[in-house]
Amino acid sequence: MSERPTMLVTGGAKRIGAAIARAYGAAGWHVVIHYGRSRAQAEELALELSSAEIVSCELDSWDAPLAMVTQLAERLADWRVLVNCAGMFDLDTAQKLDPATYEKAMRVNAATPARLAQAFLAQSRSPHGRRVIHVTDQKLLNPNPDFFSYTMSKHALAATVPMLSMAREREEDRIYALAPGAILASHDQSEAETEISHRMNLLHRKTTPDDVAEAALFLGSGWLASGETLFVDSGQHLLAQPRDVLFLARQ
């Protein structure tokens, strides 16, 4: 493990987070898989990778995520990448914001990733520069009134990218946003609805978890200038969609 660069991905046990973990693992990295309640999936994934470990904390806690960073930074010699992938995607609308949904979305999707990034940049060690990658959403440029609190929280997270970039102390560090489109089934979508909704983009193709994972691996190299956002959505962000594609597919 000491000879490998290390990355941490939050929400890494399932879905897009797991795809990102596999991509880094295949590229020879030591992968730290964060999970919330999916311990079995995290353990199974770690066994697939040549060098991996699992770690857990509640991301809606104010202190636990920072303690996790401190504990990891103390023993990881080349902790180079933090991918903030975990998030919550609960429904409320522009007509009626749900206070509980809003408060949790802003904590889990915005405040905690920002604080994780701050702690990572303050404490992690790497002789090659560090990379923070916030997973946001194509809704940043293609908003609709659905998932109101979620969308606000992703806008808030996106706002931290240029600010953290401007505040960084080491020129070789990079802070990025990775903005996917519709990738996996959400909520109560059927397979048929997923097939329709996920092709509602300029290329009429399904963007895959592996597409996002490969983009995350590319950003981990730090070739782009700090503060950039990379959209991986087959052009969905270039459209004007009046509702979330989950609902458009049902019309």
For residue 90, being part of any structural domain is answered with yes
Neighbouring C-alpha atoms within 13 Å toward the C-beta of 92: 19
Binned at pLDDT 50, 70 and 90, residue 2 comes out as: low
Q: How many domains does the chain have?
A: 1
Tell me the whole-structure pTM to 2 decimals.
0.96
For residue 111, what is the domain's CATH number?
3.40.50.720
| Residue 202 counted as domain residue | yes
Asked if the structure places residue 222 within a domain, the reply is yes
In a domain, 79, yes or no: yes
Q: Which domain holds residue 199?
A: 6-248
Whether residue 143 is predicted with pLDDT greater than 80 in this model: the reply is yes
Q: Is residue 1 part of a domain?
A: no
* pLDDT tens digits for range 45-94: 999 999 999 999 999 999 999 999 999 999 999 999 999 999 999 999 99
C-alpha span between 95 and 31 (Å, rounded): 42
pLDDT in tens, 205-246: 999 999 999 999 999 999 999 999 999 999 999 999 999 999
pLDDT 10s digits, 97-107: 999 999 999 99
Nearest residue to 92 (alpha-carbon basis) of 15, 141, 144, 135: 144
In a domain, 60, yes or no: yes
What length is written for the chain? 251
In a domain, 42, yes or no: yes
